[in-house]
Amino acid sequence: MLEEYKRKRDFGATPEPAGRPGETCGDRFVVQEHHASHLHWDFRLEMDGVLKSWAVPKGPPLEPGVKRLAVQVEDHPVEYIDFAGTIPADQYGGGTVEIWDAGRFTLEERREDRLSFELHGQKLVGSYALIRTGPGKNWLLMKRSPKKTARQE
């Protein structure tokens, strides 16, 4: 699943990881602030032995009711989860990458067109959903309202 990732990069020229064989998959997520030709935030979930990845031009929402475009991009190696640094300007994604948030997630629902999960990060905390908007790569990332708990009588 990393063919596209590897095809786009020259590992002799970029400090980004090529990925290690046999990496195991956990339940972590990361958001990397990427100052490339256009500033965006890369939202990545550890799934299926890779980091499923979306580029979010305006950044992940912190409040419920805000929907942010999230464009699915190529899977990244799990090793990318703590990558921060400078990608040379003439390389794919050239610019600086810093960790904006990181933590664990709990998957609640997974369908072809919808992912629901609880994020346990520093900035991103609570229930989130990624909803695919059509047959292309566009999804919406949104924070969901906290579940109302039944009040004790």
97, amino acid identity: V
Tokens describing residue 123? 């900035």
Judge whether 40 and 55 are in contact, CB under 8 Å. yes
42 binds Mn ion (CB under 5 A): yes
**C-beta of 28 vs 40, nearer to Mn ion:** 40
**C-beta of 13 vs 107, nearer to Mn ion:** 13
> Residues binding Mn ion: what is the number (CB under 5 A)?
2
- Binding-site member from 16, 19, 30, 34 for Mn ion (CB under 5 A): 34
State in angstroms the smallest separation of the CB of 40 from Mn ion: 6
State in angstroms the smallest separation of the CB of 135 from Mn ion: 23
> How crowded is the C-beta side of 60, counted as CA atoms within 13 Å?
28
52 binds Mn ion (CB under 5 A): no
- How many beta carbons lie within 10 A of that of residue 55, not counting itself? 19
Q: Which residue is nearest to Mn ion (CB)?
A: 34
User: Could you tell me which residues are beta bridge partners of residue 101?
Assistant: 31
> How far is Cα 77 from Cα 93, in angstroms, rounded to an integer?
16
**C-beta of 64 vs 88, nearer to Mn ion:** 88
User: Could you tell me which residues are beta bridge partners of residue 55?
Assistant: 42, 71
Binding site for Mn ion (CB under 5 A): 34, 42
